[in-house]
Chains A and B, each alone.
Chain A
Amino acid sequence: MQIQLNGEARDLAPDLTVAQLIDSLGLTGRRIAVERNEEIVPRSEHPTTHLVDGDRVEIVHAIGGG
């Protein structure tokens, strides 16, 4: 399946969970937040949220700004 991850197309194994995606990106334990199709995916739901083809996923973090 293919999703849009931070604005770019990415091919993933079917039925991946958000937690597995984060793990595959090496971001487990990092201070990040995840949005899927413009809805927050709370941290507690990362292991149970399965991605589907066409999902638009954003993974964000804090950076310097004023």
Chain B
Amino acid sequence: MTDFFQDQPLRIAGYRFSSRLLVGTGKYKDFDETAEAIAASGAEVVTFAVRRTNLGQEEGPNLLDVVPPERFTLLPNTAGCYTAKDAVRTCKLARELLDGHKLVKLEVLGDDSTLYPNVVETLKAAEELIKDGFDVMVYTSDDPIVAQELERMGCCAIMPLGSLIGSGHGIQNPHNVRLIIEQSRVPVLVDAGIGTASDAAMAMELGCDGVLMNSAIAHARQPVLMASAMKKAVEAGREAFLAGRMPRRQSADPSSPFAGRING
């Protein structure tokens, strides 16, 4: 942020973050690239997946050594879960893995080809997790009524998709995202679909509280450079939102005065 302006922190479930860019840890070439990209992104919240340990293989470096819980706010996710039951189990395993950590990213998917959220299972899982004391940041469709219901249940952040996970198609329905932003009293973050810096800026200009992305950085030709671009895009979009854009006009409006022209 520019030095004359101090933004409010992003507040989620009692945490306060100065960065509004949240990043994933998947699809990188190796852990060095993961670490460099995260550093360049300035992200304070980092999401990861929970999977079976490879047994009988030499255990290499662990992701949690690359993103130590002492330095980052870790956000375990339930990626790959297709039922509420599996998502709840995964969150409980993550809580055990991180010694009681309560903040999770809930996503329950509908099918393999779209990875579209299954909102019925998502609602079930959210209810159970909240009852069990989890702070639930929820990945959902861009349906404002579903978003409203998830907020009513007690989710601490609503995270509608911009477009399909990993598609890089940007925000396909900005009107819905705006409806969700306008109605929500908890933070709204676009999660999924961001392709490039202008998509992230657009999310923030719409009034999102933050953006979560993985592929847009990890699958860029130069991930570390893209991470840096995303940091700036999120900051620029946030400042533009707060500054308030000029009204759109039907006709031109010169920036230089008419008076005093030499041909006048």
Interface residues of A (CB under 8 A from B): 5-7, 25-27, 30-35, 38, 40, 42-43, 58-66
For residue A66, give the distance in angstroms from its CB to the closest CB of chain B: 3
Residue numbers in B under 8 Å from A63 (CB-CB): 25-26, 48-51, 63
Stretch touching chain A among B93-101, B118-126, B168-176, B201-209? B93-101
Among B25, B55, B213, chain A packs the most CB atoms within 10 A around the CB of: B55
Q: Are B55 and A6 in contact (CB under 8 A)?
A: yes
Q: Is the CB of B79 within 8 A of A64?
A: no
B27 part of interface (Cβ distance < 8 Å): yes
Q: Mark B43-66, 1 if CB is under 8 A from A, else 0.
A: 000011111110110010011100
A-B contact pairs, 5 of them (CB 8 A): A33-B96, A61-B53, A62-B74, A65-B77, A66-B218
Q: Are A40 and B96 in contact (CB under 8 A)?
A: yes
- B214, CB-defined interface residue at 8 Å: yes
A30 touches B55 (CB 8 A): no
Q: How far is the CB of B11 from chain A (nearest CB, A)?
A: 23
Q: Is the CB of B47 within 8 A of A62?
A: no
B34, CB-defined interface residue at 8 Å: yes
For residue B89, CB closer than 8 A to chain A, the reply is yes
Instruction: Give the residues in chain A near B223, CB-CB below 8 Å.
Output: none
Q: Interface residue count for B (Cβ, 8 Å)?
A: 39
Residues of A within 8 A of B89 (CB): 35, 38
Closest 8 CB pairs of A and B: A66-B214, A66-B24, A65-B49, A33-B96, A33-B97, A64-B25, A64-B26, A6-B52
Cβ-based interface call for B92 (8 A): yes
B76 at the interface (CB under 8 A from A): yes
CB pair B48–A64 under 8 Å, yes or no, is yes
Residues of chain A with a CB closer than 8 A to B94's CB: 33
B27 touches A64 (CB 8 A): yes
B28 to chain A, nearest CB (A): 6
In the bound assembly, the distance between CA atoms of A31 and B77 in angstroms comes to 16
> Residues of A contacting B79 with CB < 8 Å?
65-66
Distance in angstroms between the alpha carbons of A60 and B55 in the assembled complex? 10
Give the distance in Å from the alpha carbon of A32 to the alpha carbon of B50 in the complex: 10
Q: Given that A6-B55, A7-B52, A66-B27 are contacting pairs, would A58 and B93 also be in contact in the complex, using a CB cutoff of 8 Å?
A: yes
User: At the interface, yes or no: B141 with Cβ under 8 Å from chain A?
Assistant: no
Partner of A64, one of B49, B59, B99, B213: B49
